[in-house]
Structure 1
Amino acid sequence: MPHSEPTRIFLNARVFTGTGEDDWAAAFRVTAGRFDRVGATAEVMADRPDDCEIVDLGGATVLPGLLDVHSHPAFLAALADSTLCFPPAVTSLRGLVEHLRGNSGIGQGPDVWIEGFGYDESAYPERRGPTADDLDQVSPDQPVFVRRCDGHSAAANHRALELAGITAATPDPPGARFGRDAAGRPDGRLIESAATAAVARVVPPRSSADRAQDLAGLDCHFLSRGIVGVADLWATMVPEPLATFRAAEDRGLSVQCALYYPWPEIVAAGLQEIGADQRAGRMQIAGAKLFLDGAYSNRTAWTERPYPGSCDHGLRTASDADLHAAVAWARRNRLQVAIHAMGDAAISHVLDLFADVEPWLTGMPSIRIEHATLFSPAMLDRLTAGRMRFGVVSHAIFLYAEIDAYRDNLDTEQFAIAYPLRSFFEQVGDAALASDVPATAWADADNVFLSVQAAVSRRAHDGTDIGQPQAVTVPQALLLYTGRARTLAPLQDVGLIAPGYEGSFVILDRDVFTVPVADIAATRVVQTWLAGRLAYDAEASTPTGS
């Protein structure tokens, strides 16, 4: 980024530096886009240049720029024409159908797709997700395709199934399945990613230029939340991801983006080698992503014990051969491997395969465990005792938003070890909180302060206790979005207010460290500064330009 901004000293602030739970400063200086002094006012003001600009922050609370290290910008861009169906706006099948009827494509012709995203049947009074019959009520003549909130599963109407060529004779894809009625005919349910992809691949794609513009349009979304760096764990939701993200950067996408490609697509592309130029810059390829299981919310996470009231242990969705091949490719290309593993059986299997393997990266984990839901103390001991440097990405927003599903799908012992955030903070050096947006069953899932409130209170949206013993403090939760999160992805010099780091920080409308816990989620970002430049000002409600 250009650094034509003057040297600025920011003082009269409560500055959480991100270097530790009790590390604070009163002032800092930014020169040529980087912090070069941080500390007491007198220290920062000493020997200041004559042309230095002084900014009095009036006692405001300042944080390092926030990092969302498991997000899906490409997915958000792909949803540009979709109707969003998240709770709390949609809470029933009837409401879902009505919501989809408001899509701008309704009545535009038989070849125009009606797309939606974000349904969560776990709290619907009908206690089930949509079928082809339900979605035919949106339109029987146009294809209708709506993805579940987790992004893995979906539903399609009969017209969409027809266009995708899915019939009673179509076999289930590996690691997934098509829902079927009693006669074996497909009923519109697309369970897990490979089944969803069977319909998604026939949806007419937008052009690369359109997707680049869609991505650039997300800049205000991230900056308004104080987010200056994201890891996209499904970057291939746009065509030619690196080129498209870099084109979006040219069009104004200013936050850093680390891109992870799904392993099957890496294989399909011929296991291409990744050059140093592709691993550098504000938009860079960061690694490979594998799905080892599904999600707890629809009983597809791979579990040690069967789900309550059933003999079902969920789905295993990747082979050992795939896992070993991905690690070998990543080692050769100096990239990470990110493994989606929610269930305890899935996480244990990752540890069995790789805990004693020599890591290949320095300064960051070679293998990331994504979502990390059921993690027992014994599993944590195994993770920290081995040779491999693992990273753990977990969530507070999942239990907060999807409490009904977790209440149904976890027994008492499992619930006690679900999302053990305090244990992650205390025992895992490379640990982070993240949003998984938009694959989270809540409309404002990447509001970091909602996630912080859920992590500190350990209460769901309805007040349910979601594990008080695993609550963290506000400083700890924010470290999992800043100083601790910075090692989880190759984002460059962000996450700390410290000399040498990029001058990216956020100014809040209140002191998030002292407000009542119930008010944390109401915290708003007043300004976001990116590499020494005012990038977002809430009064203007838009990025300020480069």
Structure 2
Amino acid sequence: MTEGRVVALGDTRELLSLVAPHTEVLDLGGHPVTPGLVDSHCHFSAVHEIVTIDAAYPSVGSIKEIAAKVRERTATVPPGTWIVGTGWNEGTLAERRYIVAADLDTVSPDHPVWLSHASECYGAGNSLALRLAGVQSSTTDPPHGRIERDEEGRPTGVLIDAAQLAVTRLIPPPSQEDRIRGVARACELFHAEGVTSVKDGGGDAQRWEDYLLALERGLLGIRTFFMWEAPRELAPCNALLGHIAGAKASSAARTGHQLMCGGVKIYLDGTTGARTAWVYDDWYEGPGILDGGNKGYPVVDADVFRDQAKLFHSNGIHMSVHCIGDRAIDFCLDCYEEALAENPVAGLRHGLIHCHIPTHEALDRIVELQRRFDVAVPETQPTFLWFLGDYYAANFGPARNSRLFPLRSYSMRGINWTAGSDYPVTPSGPRYGIAAAMCRQTLLNRYGPHPFGVQEAIGPLEALAAYSSQAARQLFLEDWVGSLTPGKYADLAVWERDFGTVTPEEARENRCLLTMVGGREVYRRHGF
């Protein structure tokens, strides 16, 4: 390596012949090296570690333990102060249900509480939080959102999708300094997992400015491809085009390949945990229990989304769309096809974020769209199988479980796909996703060892490619990162084990020993 680039690859004898008097030689002790890994969809900030309660497994394993954390926090701040937490997941809670207001009221009668779900698409508040937000029995569900209610019609405390805004708009935001600290902390977490590049899953002008400031302070040690979150109405999208053009023009020369103004992220449907993702067949409330009549919904007006897709495509903007349900995936493909029919420009690599349960017909369409236009790239999260699978298996039901994340089908059909963590929804380590892609098991085995079957399992090197060369391409960085190639940046990771020979269990426990970005050491495991 020299000046941050890979110069040559070879065995020890070949490379020692290139050593000059002032060359630094690093002996890795026979440990394997991979390219620095690439997370193709995450929310790149650990500010929640700084300002919120950790309600994620294994920090907590029950609602009782979460309530105890809330009680502890109330003792440290004045009455009326918001208590905020994040990361809970009903699939890993002993009670196997949502948190509700009644769980929180006794431990926090004088402090409003909001606990965001791991997906960040729904959450639970106490009665004081609901009262401050004006949420009561007579409150109607907002467009593209839902207030969970008990049998008598009273709000339970769970607010889904757009309904969350009634509470979250009241919570004081983190300070800019806390947000910058959150970016720096996220770099530390990702470096420790061998990740050197990320695609940030959506932000606004404030978030873009945070990144610029972090970069200026030398705190942005991850190559970041920034996606702007699209408004859920069409008119503001025209203004967003101006923001994107301005950001690209003002930043390209000074940010290079460290911070890139990438494109637009659009939400189309809801989530699996809240059973609001847009599907053809009814959701399940639990094993064998149909949630009759609930097929989820789009979280944006369908006509608005269609026009958004055409607007961004016609302006040459890369976009990736949050689409979990099979009906949402199909509708997204419909809109991509319509946009391309009007303006058949190839190479924008529009993505399908999550893309949980595509139909066989959708796979055919993805093949054709990639072949003709280089669009419709599934940006998947195999980690969900492991960390969220214990409620996914119950909510999807057997027929859909078998086609959740059809990774082998992607490979067999020649579909380009990528992998990511959706951090902080799941931890930042690609090792978890590689293991999950291999075995398709869940963390707690609540519904047996293989509720999703093994037909769509793949090998470790296929999974590794989705976190390296394939993901780099979706960040438009394939000429610079994603493989150890002379001329590319010296972004690399050193590992305890060779991913090519690991079992799923070994992949999950495979620790990163050293990470470099541009030839500069950014992480070294203690003792290495």
TM-score (ref. length: structure 1): 0.85
Q: Could you tell me which residue of structure 1 aligns to residue 4 of structure 2?
A: 33
Contact 2:317 2:348 in 1 (8 A): no
Contact 1:115 1:144 in 2 (8 A): yes
Q: Could you tell me which residue of structure 2 aligns to residue 524 of structure 1?
A: 511
Amino acid in the other structure paired with 2:207: P
Q: Could you tell me which residue of structure 1 aligns to residue 170 of structure 2?
A: 202
- 1:244–1:525 distance in 2 versus 1, CA, 3 Å: same
- 1:500–1:360 distance in 2 versus 1, CA, 3 Å: farther
In structure 2, distance between residues paired with 1:540 and 1:360: 54
More deviation, 148-157/353-362 = 353-362
Q: Could you tell me which residue of structure 1 aligns to residue 116 of structure 2?
A: 147
In structure 1, distance between residues paired with 2:481 and 2:329: 29
In structure 2, distance between residues paired with 1:495 and 1:160: 46
Contact 2:333 2:376 in 1 (8 A): no
Shift of 1:186: 3.1
Report the secondary structure of 2:98's partner residue.
coil
Structure with the bigger percentage of helix: 2
Kindly report which structure 2 residues correspond to 1:32-181, keeping only aligned pairs within 5 A, or say none. 32-41=3-12, 44-45=15-16, 49-74=20-45, 76-103=46-73, 105-181=74-150
In structure 2, distance between residues paired with 1:33 and 1:361: 35
- 1:173–1:489 distance in 2 versus 1, CA, 3 Å: farther
Residues 347-378 of structure 1 deviation map (CA, whole Å, 9 limit, x = unaligned): 1111122236437776551x210111112332
In structure 2, distance between residues paired with 1:60 and 1:54: 15
Q: Could you tell me which residue of structure 2 aligns to residue 245 of structure 1?
A: 211
In structure 2, distance between residues paired with 1:186 and 1:462: 30
Pair 1:220-2:188 in alignment: yes
Q: Could you tell me which residue of structure 2 aligns to residue 233 of structure 1?
A: 201
Q: Could you tell me which residue of structure 2 aligns to residue 15 of structure 1?
A: none
- 1:527–1:123 distance in 2 versus 1, CA, 3 Å: closer
Q: Could you tell me which residue of structure 2 aligns to residue 347 of structure 1?
A: 329
Percentage identity across paired residues of the two chains: 28
Residues 194-216 of structure 1 deviation map (CA, whole Å, 9 limit, x = unaligned): 12222111111222233123212
Contact 2:70 2:108 in 1 (8 A): no
In structure 2, distance between residues paired with 1:111 and 1:214: 25
In structure 2, distance between residues paired with 1:439 and 1:325: 30
Report the secondary structure of 1:206's partner residue.
coil
Contact 2:232 2:300 in 1 (8 A): no
Aligned pair count reads 502
Shift of 1:501: 1.2
Amino acid in the other structure paired with 1:218: A
Shift of 1:505: 0.1
In structure 1, distance between residues paired with 2:364 and 2:338: 13
Shift of 1:235: 2.4
Contact 2:84 2:114 in 1 (8 A): yes
Contact 1:364 1:489 in 2 (8 A): no
Contact 1:369 1:392 in 2 (8 A): yes
Q: Could you tell me which residue of structure 2 aligns to residue 300 of structure 1?
A: 276
More deviation, 463-472/273-282 = 273-282
Shift of 1:102: 3.2
- 1:159–1:490 distance in 2 versus 1, CA, 3 Å: farther
In structure 2, runs of 5+ residues without a counterpart are 285-289
Kindly report which structure 2 residues correspond to 1:254-269, keeping only aligned pairs within 5 A, or say none. 254-264=221-231, 268=236
Report the secondary structure of 1:378's partner residue.
helix
Q: What is the alpha-carbon root mean square deviation over aligned residues?
A: 2.5
Pair 1:417-2:403 in alignment: yes
Q: Could you tell me which residue of structure 1 aligns to residue 386 of structure 2?
A: 400
Residues 433-465 of structure 1 deviation map (CA, whole Å, 9 limit, x = unaligned): 11111123xxxx222112211111222224511
TM-score (ref. length: structure 2): 0.88
In structure 1, runs of 5+ residues without a counterpart are 1-29, 542-546
Contact 2:116 2:123 in 1 (8 A): yes
Residues 485-530 of structure 1 deviation map (CA, whole Å, 9 limit, x = unaligned): 1112245722111122111100112223224432221111111011
Contact 2:201 2:226 in 1 (8 A): yes
Shift of 1:477: 0.8
